Amino acid sequence: MQFNSLHYFGFLLVTALVYWRLNFRHQNLFLVAVSYAFYAVWDWRFLGLMVFATAIGFYPALAIKKAQANGNALLAKRWMVTSVVASLGTLAVFKYANFFVDGFMALLARFGGSADSFTLGIVLPVGISFYIFHTISYVVDVYQEKLEPTNFFSELALFLAFYPQLIAGPIARAGSLLPQCSNPRTYRQDDIVTGIYQILVGLFRKVVVADSAAALADRTFSNPTQYNQVQLLCGLLLYSIQIYNDFAGYSDLARGSAKMFGFSLIKNFDLPYFAQNISDFWKKWHISLSSWLRDYLYIPLGGSRKGKFRTYFNLMATMTLGGLWHGASWNFVFWGFLHGSYLCLYHLYKESSFKLPTNRFLQEFASPLLVFGLATFTWLFFRSPSEQVTAQYLKGLVSGGLAGGVYWLVPTAIIIALHLLPDLAQKLRNKDPFFIGLKPTWATAFAFVMLVCLVASGDLPSQPFIYFQF
């Protein structure tokens, strides 16, 4: 059930109407049932896996709290480790088993060995990376005594399965979302209006911008050898625009949908293509994942507290594993490796005596343009379906010729202009969402422009959300 379909909005409307007629406890149970039904539309076979993920968070968390109350720190740690290992083991089996089997077969062949080729044929459950990370963060936060464990299985089930953020995040922290599951929600008309506007912005990003960009970007990545330098460069630029608006659009739809039920989900994007440097980019891009990796991987590895070499190692390890989190592919690994390298180079620059002059031109234009260019280059590895396609694309960018591709510049410029419409509004107003506090006339005007663009984009083929595959 795609978030950009009429089926979804009918589902959302009916769910919200029933939800607000129930009392608090029944609201929670209803949302859990609805969320499980929403997930079952994708594949009912994995509902048991979601219940299992809830159980390996719920029961160990209570056991950790009991052990800590009895002064048994070792037992509490064992329960925490058991839960985390079970969560990561589940993720590894479903997401990476085939990757490691294929890698072992290739390594064996390189050294002259041979074995019968086989694959486990494991299906990847949609959204598994997100709800497994939710489980891990919940248990670790309870262990670190940042959070009291819930005594209601249904509350943790709702935290993990809440359908607006189930498939592709944001990766909500238990400390933020779980209290909202535990406390009664109050119907407020302002929340409903805010939710509707945010859903509209999300649809604009997804349907008008991301899907338009995909129409050209997908062509270049399907067979790079058929396109010249200008077309390949436009395709890469458009994919950079596509993935941002696709995922930011999903996040807007998720946050807007959650508002319809009185929930507030965390902000997941904060104008990342206006970032001043690559470190700033990762504070603004997929904020829920980057902060999760920082708090549960980078800092536990030692962060920047154990000397320069260890800092660089931790940055590389965190970003490379972050790449692997996205999927079992060497392209994803290299994407993470590149971002780790960027961060290390930026830290070297900060620690050096050489400093670029600070002026408004650099801050407002040159620095964001450089960050955008660096990030866009890495998307080549993220998007390519194979290492072979990556090599073909790189070769075409360097030596693909220029003839016949200039006509791609016009649609590329139009799509970039559409991409900037909500982002510039947010930057100029310094509001998130940008329509908060707008006079009704201006809010209506923005809504009208977006609706016109949505209607005009009606013939575009509907594209699945990119992050649904993770």
| CA 58 from centre of chain | 25
Residue listed under structure tokens 């600070």: 358
Tokens of 449: 């422009």
Assess if residue 439 is contained within a domain: yes
- Based on the fold, state whether residues 123 and 229 are members of the same structural domain: no
Note the pLDDT of residue 109.
55
Q: What percent of the chain is helix, strand and coil (3-state, nearest 5)?
A: 75, 0, 25
Note the pLDDT of residue 124.
66
How far apart, in whole angstroms, are the C-alpha atoms of residue 238 and residue 416?
A: 8
Q: Which long-range CB contacts under 8 A does 451-460 form with residues at least 24 apart? A: 451/200, 453/204, 453/208, 453/418, 454/203, 454/204, 454/207, 454/208, 456/208, 457/207, 457/208, 457/211, 457/212, 460/207, 460/211, 460/212, 460/215
Q: By residue range, what is the domain housing residue 329?
A: 190-469
- Segment 427-455 shows an average pLDDT of 82
Q: Count Cβ neighbours within 10 Å for each residue of 145-160 and write b for 16 or more, e otherwise.
A: eebebbeeebbbbbbb
- Based on the fold, state whether residues 226 and 93 are members of the same structural domain: no
Contact between 371 and 280 (Cβ < 8 Å): yes
Tokens of 454: 């949505």
Query: Over 80: is that where the pLDDT of 428 sits?
Result: yes
Query: Over 80: is that where the pLDDT of 254 sits?
Result: yes
How far apart, in whole angstroms, are the C-alpha atoms of residue 244 and residue 272?
A: 9
Tokens of 40: 């079952």
- Based on the fold, state whether residues 311 and 456 are members of the same structural domain: yes
**Of the residues 134, 286, 326, 419, which is catalytic?**
326
- Segment 424-431 shows an average pLDDT of 84
- Segment 44-72 shows an average pLDDT of 92
Residue listed under structure tokens 């089997």: 101
- Based on the fold, state whether residues 236 and 357 are members of the same structural domain: yes
Assess if residue 145 is contained within a domain: yes
Specify the higher pLDDT residue, 210 or 460. Answer: 210
Note the pLDDT of residue 97.
61
Q: For the purposes of burial, counting CB atoms within 10 Å of the CB of 48, is it exposed (0-12), middle (13-18) or buried (19 or more)?
A: exposed
Q: Is the dihedral of CA 256, 259, 265, 271 positive or negative?
A: positive
Query: Over 90: is that where the pLDDT of 285 sits?
Result: yes
User: Model confidence at 98, in pLDDT bands (50, 70, 90)?
Assistant: low
- Segment 142-156 shows an average pLDDT of 92
Query: Which of the residue ranges 27-36, 108-117, 300-309, 395-404 has the most confident prediction, judged by mean pLDDT?
Result: 27-36
- Based on the fold, state whether residues 290 and 421 are members of the same structural domain: yes
Query: Over 60: is that where the pLDDT of 282 sits?
Result: yes
| Mean of all residue pLDDT scores within the chain | 86
- Segment 119-133 shows an average pLDDT of 72
Tokens of 215: 């129409």
- Based on the fold, state whether residues 64 and 200 are members of the same structural domain: no
| Overall pTM surpassing 0.85 (yes/no) | yes
- Based on the fold, state whether residues 132 and 148 are members of the same structural domain: yes
pLDDT digits (tens, 9 = 90+) for 5-40: 788 889 999 999 999 999 988 999 999 999 999 888
- Segment 290-311 shows an average pLDDT of 89
Assess if residue 98 is contained within a domain: yes
- Based on the fold, state whether residues 106 and 40 are members of the same structural domain: yes
Domain boundary among 186, 209, 244: 186
pLDDT digits (tens, 9 = 90+) for 454-464: 888 766 667 77
- Based on the fold, state whether residues 151 and 199 are members of the same structural domain: no
How far apart, in whole angstroms, are the C-alpha atoms of residue 15 and residue 6?
A: 14
Domain boundary among 143, 168, 186: 186
Assess if residue 11 is contained within a domain: no
- Based on the fold, state whether residues 332 and 389 are members of the same structural domain: yes
User: Model confidence at 143, in pLDDT bands (50, 70, 90)?
Assistant: very high
Contact between 221 and 235 (Cβ < 8 Å): yes
Note the pLDDT of residue 303.
85
Assess if residue 5 is contained within a domain: no
- Segment 254-267 shows an average pLDDT of 92
When divided into structural domains, the chain yields a total of: 2
Note the pLDDT of residue 324.
85
DSSP 205: I
Note the pLDDT of residue 113.
55
Q: Is 26 a catalytic residue?
A: no
Query: Over 70: is that where the pLDDT of 184 sits?
Result: yes
How far apart, in whole angstroms, are the C-alpha atoms of residue 432 and residue 82?
A: 39
Assess if residue 50 is contained within a domain: yes
Residue listed under structure tokens 């419409």: 421
Domain boundary among 186, 208, 227: 186
- Segment 378-407 shows an average pLDDT of 86
The number of beta carbons lying within 10 Å of the beta carbon of residue 448 is: 10
- Based on the fold, state whether residues 103 and 229 are members of the same structural domain: no
Specify the higher pLDDT residue, 99 or 394. Answer: 394
Selection from 184, 138, 191, 145 nearest residue 160 by Cα: 138
Using CA atoms, how far residue 116 sits from 93, 101, 159, in Å, is 21, 11, 44
Concatenated DSSP letters for 104-157? HHHHHHHTT-------------TTHHHHHHHHHHHHHHHHTTSSPPPS-HHHHH
- Based on the fold, state whether residues 71 and 91 are members of the same structural domain: yes
